[in-house]
Amino acid sequence: MGREPGPAAPPPLLIACALGIEKLALRSGDRGGAPGPVTVLRTGMGPDRARTAVSRALTAEGAREAAVIASGFCAGLAPGMHPGDLVVAGETRGADGTTLCTGVDLLVKALVRAVPGRGVHTGPLTGSDHVVRGPERAALRATGAVAVDMESAATLGAARAAEGPWGGPDVRPVAAVRVVVDAPEHELVRIGTVRGGISAFRVLRAVLPAFLEWHRSLLLPRR
């Protein structure tokens, strides 16, 4: 008699970030209970570099099925935000179009458990090709966006466009989770040189268990 096929291997998880300091924070997080391979990819700054790096990474052996999370720091747009608050995108907006994110409610709940006491904001995450300050920040807020960064929209757009086993009603699971490093009342000049940057770094180190919980949820049977 033939051997029964074993369970399918869990899909890998690709976490994309732009900066070395972001990669350091994410790689030093607790990986206990990871259901499959986890890779933290430093793309470099800006949408073009993010798009190129993610597209290339998803062609590698064993990575075509990867779920993708865009992470790192961002600029908060909403009044009352503080450095160290978290942003879970409902969608990303940018030159690559609008990309709806997967499992937003689950990520919010997982982050509340992983980083208790921190504010968690949800809504559109908009893209820019430069650092946004002052009046431009207010103009982006008027569009309904809650935060802005340079790579998330390009990362998720490239992930959804990449070839892979996803198709039909199924689309590659993607998400964007960012940590606020500056906000309207707390503008920073340089990441990591003031208290707000240090606070954001510590929060980013703590989010990996929430990412793994989201990743595990992708393996659950559909109802």
**Could you tell me if 153 and 126 are in contact, meaning their C-beta atoms sit under 8 angstroms apart?**
yes
Q: Domain-by-domain residue ranges, the chain? A: 13-217
d(CA 80, CA 185): 8
d(CA 45, CA 151): 7
The pLDDT > 90 percentage for the chain reads 57
Rounded mean pLDDT of the chain?
85
- pLDDT tens, residue by residue, 108-164: 999 999 999 999 999 999 998 887 777 788 888 889 999 999 999 999 999 999 987
Give the pair of three-digit tokens for residue 196.
């707000």
Q: What is the pTM of this model?
A: 0.88
- pLDDT tens, residue by residue, 65-94: 999 999 999 999 988 888 899 999 999 999
Question: What pLDDT does 34 receive?
Answer: 67
In the predicted model, is pLDDT for residue 202 greater than 70?
A: yes
- Any idea what DSSP says for residue 207? -
Instruction: Tell me which H or E stretch contains 52.
Output: helix 47-57
**Could you tell me if 156 and 178 are in contact, meaning their C-beta atoms sit under 8 angstroms apart?**
no
Question: What pLDDT does 39 receive?
Answer: 93
* Top CATH class, 13-217: alpha beta
d(CA 19, CA 160): 22
Q: Which of 202, 206, 177 is nearest to 192 (CA)?
A: 202
In the block, tokens 């393996």 appear at 219
pLDDT category of residue 3 using cuts at 50, 70 and 90: very low
- pLDDT tens, residue by residue, 22-47: 999 998 866 666 667 899 999 999 99
User: Which residues have CB under 8 Å from 98's CB, separation 6+?
Assistant: 91, 92
- pLDDT tens, residue by residue, 158-185: 999 998 776 655 689 999 999 998 876 5
d(CA 26, CA 16): 10
Q: Provide DSSP, 133-194.
A: -HHHHHHHHTTT-SEEESSHHHHHHHHHHS-SS--TT----EEEEEEEEEBTTB--SSTTSS
Give the pair of three-digit tokens for residue 30.
């607790």
Strands 13-17 and 97-100: unpaired
